[in-house]
Amino acid sequence: MNEKIENIIVKFLTNGANEEELEKLSNWLKIKDNAQFFDHYIKTNYALDMNMNEFDSKGVKKALMEKIKQDKRIFYKLKIHKVMKYAAVAVVFLGLGYFYQHGVFENDLEMTPPSENITLQLENGNIEIINEDGSSKIVDAQGNVVGSQNGTQLVYNNDNNLESLVYNTLTVPYGKRSKVHLSDGTVVNLNAGTSLKFPVKFIEGKDREVFVQGGEAYFDVTKDIKHPFIVNANEIGIRVLGTKFNISSYPEDEDISTVLVEGSVSIYNKKESYTPENATLLKPGFKADWGKSKNEITIEEADVEMYTAWIKGKIIFRHIPFKNIIKKLERHYNVVIINNNKKLDEKLITTSFDVETIEEVFKILKEINDIDYTINKNQIIIN
């Protein structure tokens, strides 16, 4: 599965895919083997079984049309006359049983992300659910203990006998955060909606390489001059020796943003082999935005506290457009926000939240902007 298709799938599942992306996904799923790849991806990253072998094609289309007549926002805000065009996408990988199982056609619709659990995918493909209230040993396919889990924190050992790279993938859903100590001592904080693929143990003589698959992560990298640390995030690579920085690469965002706290990092296009000449050096206190559409990088001074507050469970907004605030609130609180008041989109907001509930957050936003809204379970509609 290539990265572009993977990004589209993530956008579709998180209510962010546009019509062009849905068209690409629809065409991709028409190929027989791709449906199986999709099924494996969902099971692996979201711990769901889509029952792809059992579905009622006509039933799905009929149920979709009936529900959309009641609420045009259903099925990711597709218009009625577009639904039949994309209903094939739903038929391929969802199945009627999945729709009813998750209450999509109930009168009181509750829109939720694919999973509510932090999960760890082992090297053999098995998925382990991380018990946030418990602790356990992390064991490889041969039964060897390679690390430990305590709550949402994972710690990997460096004293095992691995001689080749073996990867685990930690996936954090909306509304959650997690932390992983890699075998070299590097600490990575993962924000909501983030996956990190990393070696169980870094190997002598090889670069320390990890992969951020969407989302946001804060790295505190252990210095090792002989083994550069490389973070792969979609189109870009970030090369460091020892430093602290934040990277945000949510699929629905236009830019991949890197904010440097201390040390130095080099940012480069992954399509090119790294050299100091084709990389952009970032200084502490600055932010680099890699434009996904133009493959261009811009650098500006950054408010470091605003970009790293999430590590402590805080959200800080300083002159941020309301449409961007909506995205962050959805991720942080695991809610769906539908804004019907488009005049608010570009309005700049300055505020901060810490321990507030989503209800308290919207009370504050109402005081700032006098907005009209309703909350129904985890769905918020702004009128």
Which tens digit of pLDDT belongs to each residue from 21-44?
Answer: 677 777 777 675 666 566 555 555
* Average confidence (pLDDT) over 53-64: 40
Q: What does pTM read for this prediction?
A: 0.71
The whole-number pLDDT of residue 68 equals: 33
Q: 314-382, what's its fold?
A: Phage tail protein beta-alpha-beta fold (3.55.50)
Kindly report, as residue ranges, where domains of CATH 3.55.50.30 are found in the chain.
Answer: 314-382
The whole-number pLDDT of residue 172 equals: 95
Which 3-state string (H, E, C) describes the chain? CCHHHHHHHHHHHCCCCCHHHHHHHHHHHCCHHHHHHHHHHHHHHHCCCCCCCCCCHHHHHHHHHHHHHHCCCHHHHCCHHHHHHHHHHHHHHCHHHHHHHCCCCCCCCCCCCCCCCCEEECCCCCEEECCCCCEEEEECCCCCEEEEEECCEEEECCCCCCCCCCEEEEEECCCCCEEEECCCCCEEEECCCEEEEEECCCCCCCCEEEEECCCEEEEECCCCCCCCEEEEECCEEEEECCCEEEEECCCCCCEEEEEEEECCEEEEECCCCCCHHHCEEECCCEEEEEECCCCEEEEEECCHHHHHHHHHCCEEEEEEEHHHHHHHHHHHHCCEEEECCHHHCCCEEEEEECCCCHHHHHHHHHHHHCCCEEEECCEEEEC
The whole-number pLDDT of residue 235 equals: 87
User: Is the predicted pLDDT of residue 86 greater than 50, yes or no?
Assistant: no
Kindly report, as residue ranges, where domains of CATH 2.60.120.1440 are found in the chain.
Answer: 119-306
The whole-number pLDDT of residue 41 equals: 58
Q: Which residue has the higher pLDDT, 38 or 258?
A: 258
The whole-number pLDDT of residue 317 equals: 94
The whole-number pLDDT of residue 294 equals: 81
| pLDDT tens-digit readout, 94-147 | 443 444 344 443 433 333 334 589 999 998 888 899 999 989 999 887 888 999
* Band of residue 13 on the pLDDT scale cut at 50, 70, 90: low
Q: Which residue has the higher pLDDT, 19 or 244?
A: 244
| pLDDT tens-digit readout, 142-161 | 888 999 999 999 999 988 77
Q: What is the CATH number of domain 119-306?
A: 2.60.120.1440
The whole-number pLDDT of residue 78 equals: 39
The whole-number pLDDT of residue 32 equals: 57
| pLDDT tens-digit readout, 191-233 | 999 999 999 999 999 999 999 988 999 999 999 999 999 999 9
The whole-number pLDDT of residue 144 equals: 85
Q: Which residue has the higher pLDDT, 309 or 369?
A: 309
* Band of residue 273 on the pLDDT scale cut at 50, 70, 90: confident
The whole-number pLDDT of residue 16 equals: 56
The whole-chain average pLDDT of the chain stands at: 80
Share of the chain above pLDDT 90, in %: 54
